[in-house]
C-alpha cells in the first residue's frame, strides 16, 4: 500500500464476456478513486442498520476512545464494493449480473472519519458455469498514509447470458 500515487483515470476497464474475464484472471485490474470517510454517511448507515455503537456515532465519546475519533462500520466499507468495482471495471456480454457473496472478509485496521480510502481490485479466479461465469474479485481497501488496509475481501459475482 504505502504512499498514494496520482493516477490518470480514463474510465473503467471493460472486460468482454467470458474471454475477457479469462484474460484477466490472476491479474490486477485497477484501483478506484479516493473517497473521504464522512460522519454523515456513518450516521445514516448506523440508523439504517441499527448499529449505533458509540465508536461510530458519538464523536465526543469516540475522541477519548481507542481510535481517537469515530470509525466507519466495516460493513459500510464492504457495502461500497460494488460501486467501487464498477468504477474500476465492467463486464460486458452478459444479460444478468448477480452478487453471489463474499469470501475471506477481514477488517485489519480501523477506518477513521476524515480518512481517505480507495479500493484495489484483482481478478483472483474465473470459472465457467452453465450459461455463464463466476468471477472472484480480490478487494483491498487502502487507507491513505496507513500501512494496513481497512478491509480485504473476495467478492464473488456470477454472470449469465
Q: How confident is the model at residue 7 (pLDDT cuts 50, 70, 90)?
A: very low
Please tell me the predicted confidence (pLDDT) of residue 10: 76
Please tell me the predicted confidence (pLDDT) of residue 25: 97
- Tens of pLDDT, residue by residue over 31-76, are 999 999 999 999 999 999 999 999 999 999 999 999 999 999 999 9
- Tens of pLDDT, residue by residue over 78-91, are 999 999 999 999 99
Q: What is the pTM of this model?
A: 0.91
The answer on pLDDT for 3 being more than 90 is no
- Asked if residues 157 and 98 have their Cβ atoms less than 8 Å apart, the reply is yes
Please tell me the predicted confidence (pLDDT) of residue 4: 39
- How far CA 4 is from CA of 72, 100, 118, 143, 147, in Å, comes to 20, 31, 9, 9, 11
What's the mean pLDDT when you consider all of the chain?
Answer: 94
Query: Between the CA atoms of 139, 145, 148 and 151, what dihedral angle is there, to the nearest 10 degrees?
Result: -40
Between CA 32 and CA 136 the distance in angstroms is: 17
Between CA 89 and CA 108 the distance in angstroms is: 25
Please tell me the predicted confidence (pLDDT) of residue 101: 96
- DSSP string for residues in 20-49: HHHHHTTEEEEE---EE--HHHHHHHHHHH
Bridge partners, residue 116, by sequence: 36
Please tell me the predicted confidence (pLDDT) of residue 2: 44
The answer on pLDDT for 8 being more than 50 is no
In this structure, the number of other CB atoms found within 10 A of the CB of residue 66 comes to: 8
Does the domain spanning 27-37+73-160 belong to CATH 1.10.1060.10?
A: no
Amino acid at each position: 500500500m504505502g504512499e498514494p500515487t496520482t493516477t490518470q483515470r480514463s474510465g473503467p476497464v471493460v472486460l468482454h464476456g467470458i474471454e475477457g474475464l479469462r484474460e484477466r484472471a490472476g491479474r490486477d485490474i485497477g484501483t478506484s478513486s479516493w473517497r473521504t470517510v464522512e460522519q454523515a454517511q456513518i450516521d445514516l448507515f448506523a440508523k439504517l442498520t441499527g448499529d449505533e455503537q458509540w465508536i461510530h456515532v458519538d464523536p465526543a465519546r469516540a475522541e477519548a476512545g481507542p481510535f481517537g475519533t469515530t470509525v466507519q462500520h466495516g460493513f459500510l466499507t464492504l457495502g461500497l464494493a460494488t460501486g467501487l468495482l464498477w468504477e474500476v471495471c465492467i463486464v460486458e456480454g452478459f444479460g444478468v449480473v448477480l452478487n453471489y457473496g463474499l469470501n475471506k472478509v477481514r477488517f485489519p485496521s480501523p477506518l477513521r472519519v476524515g480518512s481517505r480510502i480507495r479500493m484495489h481490485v484483482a481478478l483472483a479466479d474465473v470459472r465457467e458455469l452453465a450459461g455463464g461465469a463466476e468471477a472472484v474479485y480480490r478487494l483491498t481497501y487502502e487507507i491513505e498514509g496507513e500501512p494496513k488496509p481497512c478491509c480485504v475481501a473476495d467478492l464473488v459475482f456470477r454472470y449469465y447470458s
